[in-house]
Amino acid sequence: MLVKALRVGLGQLIVLGDAVTRPRPQQRSAQGQAAVNKEAAALSLYQFHACPFCVKTRRAIHRLNVPVTLRDAKGDQQARDQLLAGGGKVKVPCLRIDEADGTRWLYESNDIIAFLEQRFASVA
């Protein structure tokens, strides 16, 4: 019981720290942002609100100014089931990437951030 309370409290501190220190979003031309928005429509991030690795990933998404759909895999049973069925495990963060030839599930915060950086950082 005490461990759970500590975990919840620590998670809320992490979320608060994120809110206070959130980086500025990348500025783009209207045309560049429209292109990013179009590509981002095919992305969904399955996450837990207070997970430190999810917070890290959401910070990168905010910094890159990419409007990725967020799915709560902890509080939304349908999102959790989709993550398990599609990705094969309930592990967060996980980026769902819908492409013409199918759907990819990308785990690990560093891999997700590298993917987003490579795909969106240079769009002006």
Range of the domain at 104: 30-120
Report the percent of the chain where pLDDT is more than 70: 100
pLDDT at residue 4 above 80?
no
pLDDT at residue 8 above 90?
no
The tally of CA atoms less than 13 A away on the side-chain side of residue 104 is 11
pLDDT of res. 20: 85
pLDDT at residue 73 above 90?
yes
What CATH code is carried by the domain that includes residue 71? 3.40.30.10
Does residue 16 form part of some domain?
no
pLDDT of res. 101: 94
Three-state DSSP at 117 gives helix
Indicate the number of domains in the chain.
1
Strands 69-72 and 43-47: parallel
CB 48 within 8 A of CB 74: yes
Query: Taking residues 63-89, what's their average pLDDT?
Result: 96
